Amino acid sequence: LAMETALRNAIDNGEGLSLHYQPLVDRDSQRLCSLEALARWYHPEFGQVSPGDFIPLAERSGLILPLSRYLMQQVAARLRAWLDAGLTPVPVAVNLSAQQFWQQDLIEQIRALYDEYQLPPGLINFELTESMLLDKQQQAVRVLQQLRQLGCRVAMDDFGTGYSSLSYLHQLPITTLKIDRSFIQQLGENQGSETILAAITGMAQGLKLTVVAEGVETEEQLNTLRRYHVNLIQGYLTGRPMPAEQITERYLAVA
């Protein structure tokens, strides 16, 4: 309860809440293609709290909507700052939690953000997980269509860990598949993981989806990924999550 109160205060005054941005690079050219925004929370008493802890806490305690609203605003403001600095930002993907995906005014909120920060279309993308869409496929398709109409790309995150009915994917108007890092990290350790990689990427290619390999940590993993239909690499090998200033310096600043 102490932590819930602290999180509520943090959302109210923005204290200790920030975003890190992790690069997604082209597998072959290694050029920056997009960023994933990842929430960070530092509290003077609790220290650095993992999003694996405070996001579920926010979901349980009704704080996820105000928290997400605050974070999306931060993303929009960051994109605006890059544009104002004369830089060319790449799109930033935001993780959507279930409650956020299913709110009635999600589309309106996104539209309002684009408007308020005068952002060109396509700069804010979204990631969601399969479990959010279970049992509500028809309604999910409608929300996804609206996101796509706003020019947003939508990725299925952590793919392969959920129910992963490969056949239902083609019903969903998503653009991108992110292969969960558990498969990537097992590459070279067991034969089965490469078999699954072959199946997922083969299917994704057929469905014309962009494929991201998450959690790539070694050159060996990268080399294996070169044998399959994998477009983008995200992981400690190619770039850790980092503060926006570091993204500016390392990737966006003109020499």
**Where does this chain bind Na ion (CB under 5 A)?**
157-158, 214
What does the CA dihedral 178, 183, 185, 187 come to, rounded to 10 degrees? -120
CA dist., res. 197 & res. 205, Å (int): 12
CA atoms within 13 A on the CB side of 204: 26
CA dist., res. 28 & res. 61, Å (int): 43
Using an 8 Å Cβ cutoff, are 151 and 123 in contact? no
Which of 52, 86, 104, 163 touches ligand G by CB under 6 A? 52
Q: For ligand G, which stretch binds (CB under 6 A), given 47-55, 115-123, 139-147, 163-171?
A: 47-55
Q: Which is nearer to Na ion, 130 or 158 (CB)?
A: 158
**With binding defined as CB under 6 A, does residue 241 bind ligand G?**
yes
Position closest to ligand G via CB: 235
Q: Minimum CB separation from ligand G for residue 68, in Å?
A: 6
Helix (H) or strand (E) holding 152, with range, is: none
Pick from 84, 4, 20: which is nearest to 234 by CA? 20
Q: Minimum CB separation from Na ion for residue 81, in Å?
A: 26
Which of 95, 125, 176, 201 touches ligand G by CB under 6 A? 95
Task: State the maximum Cα–Cα separation within the chain, in Å, rounded to a whole number.
Answer: 51
Using an 8 Å Cβ cutoff, are 212 and 177 in contact? yes
**With binding defined as CB under 6 A, does residue 158 bind ligand G?**
yes
Residue type, 186: Q
Q: Which is nearer to Mn ion, 52 or 121 (CB)?
A: 52
**With binding defined as CB under 6 A, does residue 188 bind ligand G?**
no
Which of 157, 176, 177, 216 touches Mn ion by CB under 5 A? 157
Helix (H) or strand (E) holding 84, with range, is: helix 64-84
Q: Which of residues 45-104 bind Mn ion (CB under 5 A)?
A: 95
Which of 35, 117, 127, 241 touches Mn ion by CB under 5 A? 127
Binding site for Mn ion (CB under 5 A): 95, 127, 157
Name the site residues for ligand G (rule: CB under 6 A). 22, 38-39, 50-52, 55, 71, 95, 97, 157-158, 181, 214-217, 235-236, 241
